[in-house]
Amino acid sequence: MKNFDEIQKYGKDQLDSTMKAWGQMSKGVQAIAAETADYSKRSFEEGSAALEKLLGAKSLEKAIEIQTAYAKTAYEGFVAQATRMGELYADLAKETYKPFENLVGKSTVVK
């Protein structure tokens, strides 16, 4: 009877951990989606502004200067965004795993 109670408690703990993990995953995915949407909006706005400047350029030198500045800004923005997304995905993995950390030691008790 004792083993049955232990198995039942372990099953409940697993279910609770799974529900917590799903909650954490939902929060993480929402953060990633929001960050992606913000980056896309910023990128579009910066590209549109650069295009307007480019269309208003009076000389080839000025056009090249505008294009170079935009390329540099776009590259730096992309690298920053890639770093941020990496951090968000790492946080998502850590937070999703946390509810299961305490179950690892318990699994050997139930066997």
Q: For the chain, what are the domain ranges? A: 2-103
Distances, alpha carbon 41 to alpha carbons 24, 38, 44, 48, 108, in Å: 26, 5, 5, 11, 50
| Per-position b or e across 65-77, b if 16+ CB within 10 A of its CB | ebeeebeeeeeee
Going residue by residue through the chain, which has 111 residues, state the pLDDT in tens, using 9 for 90 and above.
678 777 788 788 888 888 888 888 899 999 999 999 999 999 999 999 999 999 999 999 999 999 999 999 999 999 999 999 999 999 998 888 887 777 665 555 444
What is the pLDDT at residue 107?
Answer: 53
Give me the pLDDT at residue 24, please.
87
Give the pLDDT score at 50.
Answer: 95
Q: What is the pTM of this model?
A: 0.72
Q: How far apart are CA 60 and CA 49, in angstroms?
A: 18
